[in-house]
Amino acid sequence: MVAPPPATRNFAVDVVRASAAFQEIARTMGAQFLDKQEIIRLMMVSAIAGEHMVIVGPPGTAKSAMIDMFSRLIDAKYFEYLLTRFTEPNELFGPVDISAFREGRYTRRLENMLPTAEIVFLDEIFKSNSAILNSLLHVINERKFQNGPEVVSVPLISLYAASNEVPNDENLAAMFDRFLVRVLSDNLDSYHFHELMKKGISLELRKMTGRAVDGITPPPRQQGDIKAVISARDLRVIQSNFDKFMVFPDEFLTKYKGLIFQIRSEGISVSDRRAVKLLKLFAASAVFDGRTRVHDGDFFVLRHIWNNLDQVELLEEIVNPVVDAYYREHPDERRFIGPSASLDDLLTELGLIRELLTSGTELSDIQLFSQLKNLNEIKVALASLPGDAAARMIREVDQLLETVFASSKFGL
């Protein structure tokens, strides 16, 4: 964990120490949630930057489960609630203080309620009523809560929300705008189906039998309380020194300007306020990796600033070429299957792709090109690993690519 900084200490070393904790959180969560690595990274990046994030997706796509585990891995005052249109303010902000009310003062008892929390999770946030939303806006925007005649500063680091759908009501636009990061969590594709079934069977049998199955270690939640990896205090130490990270080379800002204006030209609104705040997320992405300076790979954040789901693909088309170009030129820095891919991880992924491509299953052009992209990413990751085993796997990837390109679809 990060210790309080002496005035003379090497801050770069402390960033590396903090990064190790961030990476541990990502590894722990990545082991439990398939194909959610980018969402997990964004959760941590949001906390580092002190910004807010909403996860949108259909039921059963691990939205609540991810936020729940994340909250357990950070030693912080935590508050969560499932909102409905019938939720009353006292359920979030505390009951009225009766003794004070008798004396003519209208105040709430805030102990263990949202205004005292550092990490907050609100499920189905867009189903709440206007009384809740108005109070939440003040908390999110200003980190303040109006408790009767007194304005209370709240210790909120980040508020995470989940929703089954993107709000289309104008009355909810102000709340949606306060989430700098918007992430889509969808059902897993066929590529991950086998591993999903394997994990799912193990989990269901553990619930029924009370023991581990097939030698698979039970997740931390089944072993008791998850141990926190980092504390809210550690995050505040990083944030108190954030001026050291908010330094951006002219070349980076020039490329950022080009991306923002290209995004705007596609009809995706990005206000000047949001454009400035996004710089915090780029810096936080660098801190996550243990860097003190940003690079073009941090632009991945821009994939997640959509205002509606129709814009998701548009943003990927604009942002991916810039991010992919950077990692092609710097393969040693590439992120693949979480913060650090092992040879076993890559072998498993390669086996699943081989099985899919050689099974005779009819794939659409989009599915096929997606798997070819995955193969190239595996090849890049293998190239950064030492040893004969990695070299043999590279040859296997090349052979599989040759087989696919020799097929009738590419034989024109």
Find the radius of gyration of the CA atoms of the chain: 23
Range with top average pLDDT, 28-37, 138-147, 219-228: 138-147
Three-point CA angle 21, 25, 29, nearest 5°: 165
Range list of H helices, 83-214: 89-93, 98-102, 130-142, 173-177, 193-209
Q: Has residue 74 got a pLDDT over 80?
A: yes
Instruction: Average the pLDDT over each of 29-33, 250-254, 307-311, 316-320 and give the range with the smallest value.
Output: 29-33
Q: Answer left, alpha or beta for residue 267, where phi above 0 means left and psi between -120 and 50 means alpha.
A: left
**Token digits for 271?**
């206000």
Mean pLDDT in the chain? Answer: 84
> What is the model's pLDDT at position 223?
42
Q: Residue 201 pLDDT more than 50?
A: yes
What is the predicted pLDDT for the residue at 336?
Answer: 46
Interacting residues of 243 by C-beta distance below 8 A, sequence separation 6+:
none
Q: What is the pLDDT of residue 283?
A: 97
Percent of the chain scoring above 70 in pLDDT: 83
Among the listed ranges 15-19, 63-67, 228-232, 320-324, which one has the minimum average pLDDT value? Answer: 15-19
pLDDT band at 27 (very low <50, low <70, confident <90, very high): confident
152-173 residue pLDDT tens: 999 999 999 999 999 988 889 9
pLDDT, residue 163, reads 95
pLDDT (tens digit per residue) in 380-400: 777 767 677 888 888 888 888
Alpha helix segments (H runs only) across 186-342: 193-209, 232-240, 250-265, 272-289, 311-329
Report the alpha-carbon distance of residue 305 to residue 126 in Å, rounded.
18
Most trustworthy range by pLDDT among 92-96, 129-133, 257-261:
257-261
More confident residue, 383 or 52: 52
pTM above 0.85, yes or no: no
pLDDT band at 409 (very low <50, low <70, confident <90, very high): low
pLDDT by residue (tens digit) across 176-195? 999 999 999 988 766 567 77
pLDDT for 12 equals: 57
User: Using an 8 Å Cβ cutoff, are 76 and 49 in contact?
Assistant: no
